[in-house]
Amino acid sequence: RETREAWNNVTVWGSRYVVGQTPVYVPYEIRVQAENDFGKGPEPESVIGYSGEDLPSAPRRFRVRQPNLETINLEWDHPEHPNGIMIGYTLKYVAFNGTKVGKQIVENFSPNQTKFTVQRTDPVSRYRFTLSARTQVGSGEAVTEESPAPPNEAYTNNQADIATQGWFIGLMCAIALLVLILLIVCFIKRSRGGKYPVREKKDVPLGPEDPKEEDGSFDYSDEDNKPLQGSQTSLDGTIKQQESDDSLVDYGEGGEGQFNEDGSFIGQYTVKKDKEETEGNESSEATSPVNAIYSLA
């Protein structure tokens, strides 16, 4: 019978019996009791037997890790369905590079081993690993994994810290030196360009400066065309004086239209004016038509 089930009794006339229709590798409790014409013999002890074995399932969670270019670490778990008594594991691996395939290597492990480390002989090629479990029947389903792709040229063989490499330290020093030089140049330019004319604060706002004064150039074309202020004043004074003299001579008598002793010419001007008014009145009376009528009368 299967464990925890009712007993199944079978009478066998020989010394051999095969139980069929059983699951793969299932434990059975077995008792064999002799019987003859006088009856059954004493009660025998139970023996545990298993049904037939089969090929095991594939190992679970097969993992391939590559900590460096020299070694590859492999790890796996036992099969979910052993289907018999495990007698070990078989690992097959081969190096390949593109279409080139190397020699296959086979490793056998005990049923309790679940780790293995491969020492690389070719740091450029990749590796293909095939792992399977074995029972008395044979090797079961296999699982296949490949190693990671090879690193680029910048990857060092010993994977040393990049901060300790000489080229990296030199590069950092060169960058720091360039930054320092740029800071010094910027500071010098700022010091030279930071000087501006300082003016006292006044109530009247300052007007825009002449751009010619800033660059030190002057334009004399306008100054050459303008007459001198002193000469202009003297010429105007001379012209005005001549006009004044002419007007005074006109109002004077003959060529003696000069100032009197006290510097006054008012009297002469008044006499001259009265005389002109008298002559004007006489001429108007002479030409008037009324006067002509009276004269005819």
CA-nearest of 103, 127, 104 to 117 is 127
Out of 3.40.50.1370, 3.40.30.160, 2.60.40.10, 3.40.50.720, select the CATH number for domain 60-146.
2.60.40.10
- Quick check: 257 pLDDT over 80? no
CA-nearest of 68, 72, 71, 94 to 151 is 68
Please report the pLDDT score of residue 10 as a whole number: 84
What is the mean pLDDT of the segment spanning 35-59? 87
What is the mean pLDDT of the segment spanning 263-267? 47
Q: How many CB atoms lie within 10 A of CB 52?
A: 16
Q: How far apart are CA 216 and CA 94, in angstroms?
A: 87
Q: Are strands 139-146 and 88-97 parallel, antiparallel or unpaired?
A: unpaired
Query: Per residue in 89-111, pLDDT tens?
Result: 999 999 988 888 889 999 999 99
Q: Would you list the domain boundaries of the chain?
A: 1-52, 60-146
- Quick check: 203 pLDDT over 70? no
Query: Per residue in 216-249, pLDDT tens?
Result: 544 444 444 444 444 444 444 444 444 444 444 4
State the pLDDT confidence band at 276, using cuts at 50, 70 and 90. Answer: low
Query: Per residue in 6-28, pLDDT tens?
Result: 788 888 888 888 888 888 888 88
Within 13 Å of residue 118, how many CA atoms lie on the same side as its CB? 27
Residue 216 — left, alpha, or beta (φ > 0 → left; ψ -120 to 50 → alpha)? Answer: left
CA-nearest of 77, 107, 78 to 90 is 107
Query: Per residue in 48-58, pLDDT tens?
Result: 888 888 999 99
What is the mean pLDDT of the segment spanning 141-163? 68
Q: How far apart are CA 252 and CA 275, in angstroms?
A: 12
Between these two residues, 68 and 151, which has the higher pLDDT value?
68
State the pLDDT confidence band at 199, using cuts at 50, 70 and 90. Answer: low
What is the mean pLDDT of the segment spanning 163-184? 85
- Quick check: 154 pLDDT over 60? no
Q: Are 104 and 92 in contact (CB under 8 A)?
A: yes
Residues 6+ apart with CB under 8 A from 77: 59, 60, 61, 114
Please report the pLDDT score of residue 102 as a whole number: 87
Average pLDDT taken over every residue of the chain: 72
Please report the pLDDT score of residue 50 as a whole number: 83
- Least confident interval from 104-113, 139-148, 204-213: 204-213
Please report the pLDDT score of residue 235 as a whole number: 42
Q: How far apart are CA 91 and CA 113, in angstroms?
A: 12
- Quick check: 251 pLDDT over 50? no
Q: Are 26 and 50 in contact (CB under 8 A)?
A: yes
